[in-house]
A and B are shown apart, each in its own frame.
Chain A
Amino acid sequence: MMETIAASRCPQCGWVVTPPVRICPRHPVEMTPLELSGYGYIVSYTTLTAAPEGFKPPLHIAIVELPGGARIFCHGKETRALRIGRRVAIEQTDGIFYFASLGIADRVSLFWKRRGAAPERTRDAVKSALKRFFSSPTDAAPSAQPPAEPAQKGTNSADTEHPPAAKK
């Protein structure tokens, strides 16, 4: 089983965004809830050496595009070997999304780096590690329709960061 991510879909234009929001950012129309599979490809990433209050540097942040076209912000263990277009799994620990091919040791360390401490988070971390160990990304079929191309002025599909070789 792969992580599922809460999202919402516009009944008018089919656009999917995450986290779910009440009204489609493109139209004043109420969105309907939807769940997405927790994998995608890296759109961009950075490492902050000066992290804002509440975070410990270095802070690794990535934007990942999920099946269906929704993009998500997530944290990661490191960005050193990362490339735009790389396929990653999304793991949710304590309500925070992480991009990963992460080992158990990495995940435990990530967990301890978050501010504060709560015992139940250890259970979550172990659970998500086991889940990853017993599943492979190829098992999961995209649960949403193909990426909805926005008909925005000034942009077109050739202008996006979609790497053609991203999905191997």
Chain B
Amino acid sequence: MRDVWIAAAAMTRFGRRSESLDDLIADAALEALREADCQPDALVVTAMAPEEFVGEGNLASHVGTYLGLSHLPGIRVETATSSGAAALYAGLALIASGLHNRVLVVGGEKMTHVSTPRVSEIISRVIDPHERSYGATMPALAALVTRAALAKGLITETDMARVAVKNHANGARNPYAHFQQPVTLEEVMSSRMIADPLRLRHCCPISDGAAAILLTCDPTGLKLAGMGQGSDYLAVRYRKSLTGFQATQAAAKAAFKMAGFGPERVQVAEIHDAFAPFEILALEDTGLFPPGKATKAVQNGEVTLEGRLPVNPSGGLKARGHALAATGIAQVVELAWQLTGRAVGRQVNARVGLAHSIGGMATNNWVTLVEQVA
């Protein structure tokens, strides 16, 4: 298997954008191509639900043509809300296998032009149909997980709020973030209840945005060191445990195995905090903290920008925003910028980074490891 390297990483600002999906994707892709100064020989495209949000299908050809790259072999990849990470994996596989040498991986989502109930309904289709027939939405399932974690004493409501406060503080320093204002603990804990015990300020926003990464077989110093996937039953009711995600545990195990090192080498992490308590659960599921230690780390500031292991320096899904298929790529863009000293305003000192992406209600999760080896 050949080593795979990151030649360029770019993204648009996440948020409520007036541009079309095509133009958001083009902005990210062209920026990556300019930075890399080389041409891709294959294209991997991702968007979670462009058929629903913007009415476009046959996306690989659609995007290929818009970018002037229709002559390249192109595929579209989709694994619900982790589609961006899955697209990176496809790019990694194409290069590692020797099938291609330089792959442009680009993903985006445009949904703020659609009404919020309609967006929720489209996103809800990633849920098991029987559970959906009982009114289960993503916040509902996340609330069931959170309630169980609270009851087991794994997290407290204050810890959940601390995660949101930290990620908003980081987002306030990231010009690419959807939310660029800090929030206080009181604001989080008194915000509107969405799905008891989850409040508005625990939940990520609906964002537009795009991100692109050019992968190459030529060493660049920035290595895509490991990637792993973990899956689980679509139905939450089939799982014996609600309070840890088996899919994250399996993904982390596979990623560390490919990279040939363990969680102790990770110095910065981008975690899928679509709901604030998920950040705490993921810190343990990925092995970054031993069981029972993640809440301590949140309490004593170990995961802030100045801490031992900064988590979500970008602001995470909570503050940078969650443009569905763009998110998994944007997380790795943030790691690339952090590891090469380009994360202006929020730079941390790190050589190894971890990204964690959740698809659906943790049915198709990914862990990605990036290493600065130059």
Q: Among the listed stretches B133-141, B156-164, B211-219, B292-300, which one makes contact with chain A, having 4 or more residues with CB under 8 Å of it?
A: B133-141
Are A46's CB and B143's CB within 8 A?
Answer: yes
Q: A155-B244, A159-B240, A159-B244 are in contact. Are A52 and B144 (CB under 8 A)?
A: no
Residues of B within 8 Å of A96, CB to CB, are: 134
Residues of A within 8 Å of B238, CB to CB, are: 17, 25, 71
Q: Which one of B136, B243, B250 has the greatest number of beta carbons of chain A within 10 Å?
A: B136
Q: A48-B135, A48-B139, A61-B136 are in contact. Are A150 and B240 (CB under 8 A)?
A: yes
Kindly identify, within residues 94 to 109 of chain B, every residue whose CB is under 8 Å from any CB belonging to chain A.
none
Q: A25-B233, A61-B136 are in contact. Are A48 and B195 (CB under 8 A)?
A: yes
Is A84 located at the chain interface by the 8 A CB criterion? yes
Is B196 located at the chain interface by the 8 A CB criterion? yes
Cα of A27 to Cα of B131 in the assembled complex, Å: 21
Is B120 located at the chain interface by the 8 A CB criterion? yes
Is A138 located at the chain interface by the 8 A CB criterion? no
Give the 5 A-B residue pairs with the shortest CB-CB distance, closest first: A46-B143, A71-B237, A154-B249, A44-B144, A73-B134
Binding site for B on A (CB under 8 A): 17, 19, 25, 43-55, 59, 61, 63, 70-75, 79, 83-84, 96, 149-150, 152-155, 157, 159-161
Q: Can you list 17 A-B pairs, Cβ within 8 angstroms, ordered by A?
A: A44-B242, A48-B137, A48-B143, A49-B193, A49-B195, A50-B194, A51-B135, A52-B120, A52-B137, A61-B135, A73-B134, A153-B250, A154-B244, A154-B246, A154-B249, A160-B240, A161-B242
Beyond A63-B237, A84-B148, A153-B249: 20 further Cβ-contacts under 8 Å?
A17-B235, A17-B237, A25-B235, A25-B238, A44-B147, A45-B147, A48-B137, A51-B135, A52-B137, A63-B144, A73-B131, A153-B246, A153-B250, A154-B250, A155-B246, A157-B240, A159-B243, A161-B148, A161-B152, A161-B242
